[in-house]
Structure 1
Amino acid sequence: MNPEKPLHDLAGHDAFSRTFQHGQLTIGFISPASGYPDSPFPGLSDQAEIVQSLDRSDAAALWLRDVPFYDPSFGDTGQVLDPLVYAGWLAALTQRIAIGTAGFVTPLREPVITAKQITTADQLLGGRFLAGMASGDRPTEYPAFGVDFATRVERYREAVALIKTLTSVSFPRLKTEHFGHLRGDIDLVPKPAASRIPIIAIGRAGQSLEWLGEHVDAWIWHGDAQRMSEVVPHWREVTASRGFVPFGYGAMFDLDTDANAPLQTGRVLHGGRHALKAFFARQRDAGVNHVALNLKPTRRPALEVIAELQEYVLPEFAVGEDPAAM
């Protein structure tokens, strides 16, 4: 298979293609796309304005985190709101930006209900939903659900298979150990608005890269942004037989008010817009396909940061409405 060709059944998926494309790097944002550096809880009163600003911009996607509980030892609650309920609200506020989960805690969610919620959100969004699935990194949450943390790897695999099957196969048959049994006599409704729901691994979910490379449509990792391009060669190697399977990462981000400030990497990606633009261009050339920016550390107003990025950075890393014509 030609490694430059996309996965065959997602080639016409507009939201996936605008977010992930061979030889391109796009930029997205992690909800709530605003700063809350001194608190685990963000303010949500200005979310409608922020989201609509992103929807008018060249941002490719808005990613919704899934944090069921506040755990003081982690000190961050994401956007607080349930991501799949939130996605339904976003459907009424947006028209073009892809809405993804980053990612819902798959082993703790009943997959049949999750599949129903995903396809409902996708219908409301007109096919713009990207299903990012994670295993969860907070062991303290598992006892509240009556789930053994040690089973999360197997539960993740089964949930991915069950959600894939329910959302893409009519009257499916599938038996799982930790979840349900489909006997071919019932069918999930609705089905996706688009060709199918893209499945994206968020983090490693306890899996090998080989397993991820075989079973997901894209992979979003996290860590020091400077080192993310080093992951690309191995990822391309394990996915070579499938064609183009995108790679991206999420990063804490703080845009300096000085446009010429040098870039600093590590726990937080910090710098001025000139260095940032040059850095993303190098990563694009190295094969990184998407970067999801988390504005939690910033003290600048979110709309100010988004406006500066839109004027000077985002258009450089935007994919057109008709990827096939590029």
Structure 2
Amino acid sequence: MKGNGNSTVTSRNTAHRTVFVPGQLTLGLMTPLDTRAGELADMEAAVRLARHAETAGFSALWARDVPLMIPQGSPSNDAPPQASAVDDPFVWLSLLAGATSRIAIGVAAAVLPLRHPLHLAKAALSLDRLSAGRFILGLGSGDRPEEFAAFGANLDQRAQAFRTRWPLLRAALSADSLQRQVLLEQVGYPVLPPPAASVPMLVVGSARQSLQWIAEHADGWATYHREEATQQGRIGLWQQAQQQKLGTLRKPFVQSAQLQLLEDASAPATPLDLGLRGDSQAVAAYLARMQALGVDHVMFNLGGERPATEVIEQIATEIIPQL
């Protein structure tokens, strides 16, 4: 396919082919794993878990962009707000990329209104090259007023900033010569030589854009776990937006989910805030329903008291084979 100024490009990198497999639902993990609020991740443990996840059959490792340690609470419980100590996602994923060889790595999501698109492009192209094409860039508009104030950015204008910065970043990450013209016209110089295959760009959350805009410009849409009937409706709207903008071309739908996987083989699936709790059969049945609705990839954020290595092994032996 020829580039036309949006997300239709001549080629996509290895990560896109690894994570978005036609007719198959794949699984990813949000990293770091086995950490507590306010504590820095153990790098040696992270490397071991990344290798374990790759061997276990997971398709991707994901990292968040959390610029400041701002305490955050959950609207569904009375627990006190907690702050996350999260390393820069590009640096963190470089560590995981160097420790693995096949699994994709992705940011979900970089806060585009708080990052200059040329800085983002430099980091994304570098990480894509270091990982041999295993990188996916997810982008969001951000929602923490304290961060916008600290960076001197306007919270109320983040939707416009997202749309304005997207084309330059898209051009820099593209392998298509027509798309790259935007970079050369606005900047005059490339960030790095063009990649062998374009780096996929996902919109994470709504980014305060319409689904029609996301369908036209992004390589896929990533959103959050919701009650199944609600999610079915959102997927229907996503498919409708693609039909309006793209015709028969279909782009992936990605969903995150909190997961507490239980050892008890009789435990039914019960809801969590933005996720579920249950045994392997209940989780596998849930994933089968999600695939039937049109979900292509699920990012699990592991919770509970069990060590991550045990949960990864249980998913590998009892859930992934059923997919």
Asked if Structure 1 and Structure 2 have the same fold, meaning a TM-score greater than 0.5 normalized by the shorter chain, the answer is yes
Gaps of 5+ in 2: 2-6, 74-80
Counterpart check, 1:276 vs 2:279: no
Gaps of 5+ in 1: 2-6, 176-180, 318-326
The answer for the alignment partner of 2:141 in structure 1 is 135
What CA distance in whole angstroms lies between the structure 2 residues aligned with 1:192 and 1:54?
Answer: 27
Counterpart check, 1:30 vs 2:16: no
Q: Which amino acid aligns with 1:281?
A: A
Counterpart check, 1:17 vs 2:17: yes
Q: Which amino acid aligns with 2:235?
A: V
**TM-score (norm. length: structure 1):** 0.86
The answer for the alignment partner of 2:76 in structure 1 is none
What CA distance in whole angstroms lies between the structure 1 residues aligned with 2:163 and 2:286?
Answer: 35
Residues 50 and 10 of structure 1, relative CA distance in 2, 3 Å threshold: farther
Provide, for residues 220-247 of structure 1, a one-character-per-residue CA deviation record: whole Å limited to 9, x for no partner. 1013253423321111111124211111
SS at structure 2 position matched to 1:21: coil
Residues 132 and 10 of structure 1, relative CA distance in 2, 3 Å threshold: farther
Matches within 5 A, 1:128-167: 128-167=134-173
The answer for the alignment partner of 2:4 in structure 1 is none
Shift, 1:173, TM fit? 5.0
Residues 186 and 9 of structure 1, relative CA distance in 2, 3 Å threshold: closer
CA contact (8 A) 1:10 1:198 kept: no
The answer for the alignment partner of 1:324 in structure 2 is none
The answer to which of 163-172 and 137-146 deviates more is 163-172
Q: Which amino acid aligns with 1:197?
A: V
What CA distance in whole angstroms lies between the structure 2 residues aligned with 1:31 and 1:90?
Answer: 10
Provide, for residues 253-284 of structure 1, a one-character-per-residue CA deviation record: whole Å limited to 9, x for no partner. 11012122100124131000011111111111
CA RMSD of aligned residues (A): 2.4
Shift, 1:182, TM fit? 4.3
The answer for the alignment partner of 1:211 in structure 2 is 213
Percent identity of equivalent pairs: 33
What CA distance in whole angstroms lies between the structure 1 residues aligned with 2:186 and 2:222?
Answer: 33
CA contact (8 A) 2:260 2:276 kept: yes
Shift, 1:20, TM fit? 1.5
Counterpart check, 1:237 vs 2:240: yes
CA contact (8 A) 1:264 1:270 kept: yes
What CA distance in whole angstroms lies between the structure 2 residues aligned with 1:311 and 1:66?
Answer: 31
SS at structure 2 position matched to 1:103: strand
Where relative contact order (Cα < 8 A, 6+ residues apart) is larger, the structure is 1
SS at structure 1 position matched to 2:295: coil
Matches within 5 A, 1:301-312: 301-312=307-318
SS at structure 1 position matched to 2:203: strand
